[in-house]
Chains A and B, each alone.
Chain A
Amino acid sequence: MSDRIQHIDSERMEQYAMEILPEQQVAELEQHLLICGPCQGLLAKTDAYVASMRAAARRMREEGTDQACEAGASSA
């Protein structure tokens, strides 16, 4: 066992927070989280960021300020 820790990069952490990380990577990541304070901190921040972006985007849609998004999405 080594005291050197390889931390989780922000991209993988975001995938985990959004529950889109491939299943086979989840176990390893969650086990690392059990013993790594900095990565727990990163996950807490990532959770907050993802939830905020989601809520803000939803608010924009409700207010109709995301019209360009809708137009783009429907044309895609």
Chain B
Amino acid sequence: MTIQTETDLRSQAADSDARWETPWPALIEKIQTDDASGMEELYRVFSRGVRFYLWRRMGTQDLEDTLHDTFLIVTEAIRRGELREPDRLLGFIWTVVRRQLATRIDQTVQVRRERADVDLASGLLDHRQHPELDAIVQQRIDLAYRVLSEVPLRDREILTRFYMKEQSQGQICREMKLSGTQFRLLKSRAKARFGELGKRRLLLKTSPDLSRCRHV
């Protein structure tokens, strides 16, 4: 089994644009009649999304097994006629995925408890196994730090309250005397600056001539 990194999964998610040709009822019928093309289409339409959903919550550990189990449960349930309203296929798959995720997390927690290891986060998100990911994360934090350093103090306070202190938009707007539009605009400008700095950094890496310029 190939272990996919966070970067792989992120880029796959960004590249994928699931298209489906068969309406859900026809797709369900194909699966119920053991038409292999039905299974293929189900997997093609949903595998990236389900994989991404699971990875976001449980990391790469047991990801492929959980994905496989999810499709197995979905197809068996469809064959048994448990999906009575074919138009609700999306909701049905979502429910199965959530249950599978909850089961996996329970199992992980149980295993951790048995091992008397309270560091749950490291079990669910195995980032430490990928030092290159740590470097990417650190670069992003540096960019965010630069964004926060550049903005006026008042704007920094607003962004800090929202992202770090997790204060609600309502509370921040009330206490900082801001309108909702001003709040959204400030956040949007900060995000745009973050994206701009990220692109410049990427450009520096790919253009050796630019890397000599100090003020890019």
* Residues on A facing B (Cβ under 8 Å): 1, 3, 10-11, 14, 18, 20, 27, 30-31, 33-38, 40-41, 43-45, 47-61, 65-66, 68-69, 72-73, 76
Contacts and interface: CB of A to CB of B under 8 A. Distances in A.
A1 B160 contact: no
B164 A11 contact: no
Q: Do most interface residues of chain B lie in helix, strand or loop, or is the interface mixed?
A: helix
Contact of B56 (A47, A58, A69): A47
B73 to A, nearest CB: 15
Given A52-B143, A58-B164, A34 B50 contact: yes
21 contacts: A1-B87, A3-B19, A10-B191, A20-B166, A27-B94, A30-B94, A31-B91, A38-B14, A40-B49, A44-B9, A44-B14, A45-B14, A52-B140, A53-B194, A55-B141, A56-B141, A56-B145, A56-B147, A57-B163, A68-B153, A68-B154
Given A57-B160, A73-B161, A73-B165, A52 B19 contact: no
B16 A18 contact: no
B140 A43 contact: no
A41 to B, nearest CB: 3
Given A27-B91, A34-B94, A43-B13, A54 B164 contact: yes
A53 B10 contact: no
A44 B13 contact: yes
B154 A53 contact: no
B52 A33 contact: yes
Interface in B56-103: 56, 87, 90-91, 93-94, 97
Contacts of B145: 56, 59-60
Contacts of A60: 145, 148-149, 156, 160
A1 B85 CA distance: 13
Nearest to B140: A52
